[in-house]
Amino acid sequence: MVTMYSKARDLTFSPLMIAILGIWFLANLLSQLAYISSYGIPYDGIVMLESLGPLYYAIIAIELFLWIWLCLFLTIKFIKHFSNQEKPKSDLVNH
């Protein structure tokens, strides 16, 4: 019988996606820091994105995809961590 734990152990994630998410997060953080240091107040990201017109929806979709991917990645990591701990010792021994 295939369990959720065995399916999660078989999934792999590209380190490239982690790098993309990290770069995206740091770029947002650094741009906000630069704006605050120049003007003293944080910018309104929604107003700035809406000024891009229809491209706004594509950027929001990409960002949502990245955050959903991060949640999925962390969930799978969590499942893998606990499924490795719950393995019986007889499965860990090489025959």
pLDDT, tens digit, for every residue of 53-93?
Answer: 888 888 889 889 888 988 888 888 888 888 776 655 555 55
Match 């990645």 to its residue by tokens: 73
Which bin fits 58, alpha (ψ -120 to 50), beta or left (φ > 0)?
alpha
Q: Rounded to an integer, what distance in angstroms lies between the CA atom of residue 38 and that of residue 36?
A: 5
Match 């953080």 to its residue by tokens: 29
What does pTM read for this prediction?
0.55
CA atoms within 13 A on the CB side of 27: 7
Residue spans per domain, the chain: 31-78
pLDDT grade for 1, boundaries at 50, 70 and 90: very low
pLDDT, tens digit, for every residue of 5-24?
Answer: 555 555 666 778 778 888 98
In sequence order, which residues have a C-beta less than 8 Å from that of residue 94 and are 6 or more positions away?
none
Contact 66, 21 (CB under 8 A): yes
What average pLDDT does this structure show over 28-46?
Answer: 88
What average pLDDT does this structure show over 24-49?
Answer: 87
